[in-house]
Copies of this chain bind each other. A is one copy, B any other.
Amino acid sequence: MNVGIIGIGTVGKEVLSIISCQRVKIEKLLGEEIKIIKICNRTFREEFKNYSFTFDYKEILEDDSIDTIIELMGGKDIPLEIAKKTLLSKKNLITANKELLAIHGNELFQLAKKNGVKIFFEAAVGGGIPILSPLKESLFPNKLKKIRGILNGTANYILTQMSNGSSYERALIDATKKGYAETDPTFDVDGIDTAHKISLLSYLAWGELKEFTEIKINGITKLSTEDIRKAATNNQKYKLLGEAVIDEKTEKITLSIKPTLVGKDDLFYEVNGIYNAVEIEGSYTGKTIFYGEGAGGSTTANAVVSDLYKIINSRSWQI
């Protein structure tokens, strides 16, 4: 496997570290060698000196010896260009960019199919929780009915702090200080990040990626300390849930993102702080829950590296 990596930030750095530290084990499972042909970043750091390095991502896109590109730069426009060129040049794509796929997925998945290559994105949903693969590869015999998830660690951290008595403002400052919230936390607190993620889960469950602009999204910014106190007196907590439901008769899929009350009898009640959880309801398996750390460099990097295995071992994964 000949890999190029574009964007060596928190996650990219950990990807390099995992491949280097766990090489023997990983290659044994993959059944082939992993060669990091070239890496690209905006800035050069000392730790890159053992790799072939470039500032220009086009060098990676145009390198015919590379068969798989890992894109971890974040953002919108350049990743779209990179994704398209990657697929057009018949290279596989691994990305953690949920926004890119939730908005341009239809175009990109088709492009991948047409060019006989694959897009894998385990790192885009639920951080370190293996959720996309089990959904697609283990739960597929089911008629899937419903998916719901606590999918954004920042929002969940803020709600957890608020239920411990903090104000929204103080909780947000606290989240930012601890590195859980981005400088601009709009996507997290407004539910947009959750919408990206539930949209991708729904695509893998039912093969249809919803037009993103048509999804109704409610974030957590309108919740008051009073709302949360009231909930607590009823033994309930607010959680920012993304839900995807299919109507059994019409097969219409509905996505919703909103703060939702959950009671003590619901396992989601105890999903606190930066943790994520996804519940998948199937006709045969009933309710299955996947729980773990929703973000973080090494946990997300683990998901990225696991996609290398999927690239090799999944003949017909894409819809």
Residues of A participating in the B interface, judged by any CB pair closer than 8 Å: 14, 18, 22, 25-26, 28-31, 122, 128-130, 133-134, 136-143, 267, 270, 282-293, 296, 298-299, 301-303, 305-306, 309-310, 312-317
Contacts and interface: CB of A to CB of B under 8 A. Distances in A.
B134 A130 contact: yes
A128 B282 CA distance: 10
Contact of A26 (B28, B141, B286, B303): B141
Contact of A291 (B29, B137, B291, B301): B291
B291 A285 contact: no
Contacts of A286: 128, 292-293, 296, 299
Given A31-B316, A134-B130, A313-B314, A287 B282 contact: no
B139 A316 contact: no
A128 B285 contact: yes
Given A128-B285, A284-B18, A292-B285, A309 B137 contact: yes
Contacts of A303: 138
Nearest to A308: B141
A138 B141 CA distance: 20
B288 A140 contact: no
Contacts of A25: 140
Contacts of A299: 284-286
B270 A310 contact: no
A121 to B, nearest CB: 13
Contact of A288 (B284, B291, B317): B291
Nearest to A304: B141
A292 B298 contact: no
12 contacts: A26-B141, A137-B309, A137-B313, A140-B309, A141-B305, A267-B270, A270-B270, A283-B298, A286-B293, A287-B293, A289-B291, A291-B291
